[in-house]
């Protein structure tokens, strides 16, 4: 079972690194953040499915109906957490984008002001 999870762990690490790189250097709109959150939710659900499948299978004797019910219960627990995290991440990154945009605009105005003063003198 552990050997099946090694490529999946690498995928999670790549996803987290890509998210962090884009969140620092890229001005993301809320739709992009929402999409990344949905991808993260699906990734976490699949990871939990891989981890818990043997346990759920032994409890339910691999009955498809009971396994489906167990996975639906896990998903039902994850959905409210996902919504809270998505709202938090959207708010955080939109504030960061606004702050970065204002700082960039201020630098541009300052550069234009110094150019106008130096060329006018």
Is 80 among the domain residues?
A: yes
Q: How many CB atoms are closer than 10 A to CB 66? A: 14
Length of the chain: 121
State which residues form the domain around 69.
2-111
Is 9 among the domain residues?
A: yes
Residue 45 and residue 31 in contact, taking contact as beta carbons nearer than 8 Å: no
Is 90 among the domain residues?
A: yes
Where helices occur in 26-63 by DSSP H, the ranges are: 30-60
**Residues 49, 43: Cα–Cα separation, whole Å:** 10
Q: Please state the domain count of the chain.
A: 1
Residue 71 and residue 56 in contact, taking contact as beta carbons nearer than 8 Å: yes
**Residues 5, 26: Cα–Cα separation, whole Å:** 30
Q: Which two tokens stand for residue 111?
A: 């550069």
* pLDDT reported for residue 63: 93
Instruction: Give pLDDT tens digits along the chain (121 positions).
Output: 455 556 666 777 777 777 666 666 666 677 877 787 788 888 888 888 888 899 999 999 999 999 999 999 998 988 898 888 888 877 887 787 788 778 888 888 888 888 777 766 5
Q: How many CB atoms are closer than 10 A to CB 41? A: 18
């Amino acid at each position: 079972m552990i050997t099946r999870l090694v490529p999946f762990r690498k995928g999670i690490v790549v996803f987290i690194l890509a998210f962090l790189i884009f969140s620092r250097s890229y001005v993301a709109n809320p739709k992009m953040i929402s999409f990344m959150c949905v991808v993260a939710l699906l990734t976490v659900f699949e990871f939990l499915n891989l981890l818990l499948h043997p346990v759920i299978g032994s409890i339910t004797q691999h009955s498809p109906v009971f396994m489906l019910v167990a996975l639906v219960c896990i998903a039902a627990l994850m959905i409210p957490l996902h919504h809270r995290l998505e709202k938090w991440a959207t708010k955080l990154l939109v504030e960061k984008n606004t702050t970065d945009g204002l700082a960039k605009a201020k630098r541009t105005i300052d550069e234009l002001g110094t150019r106008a003063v130096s060329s006018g003198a």
